[in-house]
Amino acid sequence: MKILVIEDSVRLADTIAEALQNENYVVDTANDGQLGYEHASTGIYDMVILDLMLPKMNGYEVLSALRRDGQNVPVLILSAKTEIDDKIQGFTTGADDYMTKPFEIRELLMRIQAISRRSHHQDTSHPVVGNLSYDPATCEICNTQTKKSVQVSGKERQLLEFFMNNCNQVLEKNQITTKIWGFDSNAEYNNVEVYVSFLRRKFHHLQVNVTLRAIRGVGYIMEVSDD
C-alpha cells in the first residue's frame, strides 16, 4: 500500500513516514500543498494523509482540487484545527476521515487500516478487458471464454491492475516506475520491461485477446486486439 503524507512540518512528516514504513507501507512526503497536489494527482497512491494549514495551497484546496479532477483516493485529514466547523468542511470537501493533533501513532495506524478495509470492501469487482478478467481476491487472471487461468503476484499484480485501470491509455515508463516502485525508488526502466514481459507470457499462455503494446521511447498501452 502506497501512502502520501502532505505535511509542512518536515520533522512530523518524517516521523509519520518512518512509523508507516515500519508497518511495511510505502511512503512519500510533500511539505507544501502545491507539491502535495502534484504528487497526489499522479494517481499512484492508495491513500493520502493531509494537513490543512499548508503553504502554497491549503489542505481544503488540495482536497477540493483532487475531487474536482476525479481523484477518488481515500484522504485522511490530520490537522491541529479542532473546531466542528473545520471537520464539517473537511468531510463535505471529500475527506474520508479526520484526526486532530496531537495524536497517537497507534490510532493513526488504526484509522488507516479502517479506511483501507472500507475501500477494499467497496471495490469487489473483477476487472475485465477483452476476454481477460482479473480476480483481486485470488490474484488470478482468466480467459473468460476458455476459463483457463493463472496466478499473478507481487509486481506483476500491481502492474496488471495499473494497466487494466488505464486500458487504451499510454502509460509512460517513468509513470509506471513511480506507480509500482515509488518516487524514491532506485528501480531502473528495464524493470518495467522485465515485468511487462512476464505479463505478456501469461497472456500468451492464456491465449487472451489483450496485448501490451510498446510505444517506442515512451511506454506501453494495453489494448484489445482485433484478431
4-45: per-residue pLDDT in tens?
999 999 999 999 999 999 998 889 999 999 999 999 988 888
**For the whole model, what pTM was predicted?**
0.61
Q: Which range marks the domain in which residue 171 is found?
A: 128-224
> How many structural domains is the chain composed of?
2
Average pLDDT over residues 86-103: 93
Last residue within a domain, chosen from 122, 142, 168: 122
- 95 and 150 part of one domain: no
Cα gap 126→113, rounded to integer Å: 22
CA 103 – CA 121 distance, rounded (Å): 27
How far from the centroid of its chain's Cα atoms is residue 145's Cα? 30
Q: Which residues contact 25 (CB under 8 A, 6 or more apart)?
A: 1, 2, 3, 112
Sheet of 128-129: strand order equals: 128-129, 132-135, 140-143, 149-151
Q: How far is CA 150 from CA 199, 203, 211, in A?
A: 11, 9, 16
> Is residue 108 domain-shared with residue 187, that is, in the same domain?
no
84 in the same domain as 30: yes
Are 13 and 109 within one domain?
A: yes
**Do residues 64 and 94 share a domain?**
yes
Higher-confidence residue of 72 and 52: namely 52
Considering the domain architecture, whether residues 105 and 62 belong to the same structural domain is answered as yes
pLDDT surpasses 60 at 186: no
159 shares a domain with 204: yes
DSSP state of 47: E
- Strand order from edge to edge, sheet including 210-215: 171-172, 219-224, 210-215
Q: Which of 77, 103, 122 is the last residue of a domain?
A: 122
In the predicted structure, residue 123 carries a pLDDT above the cut 70 = no
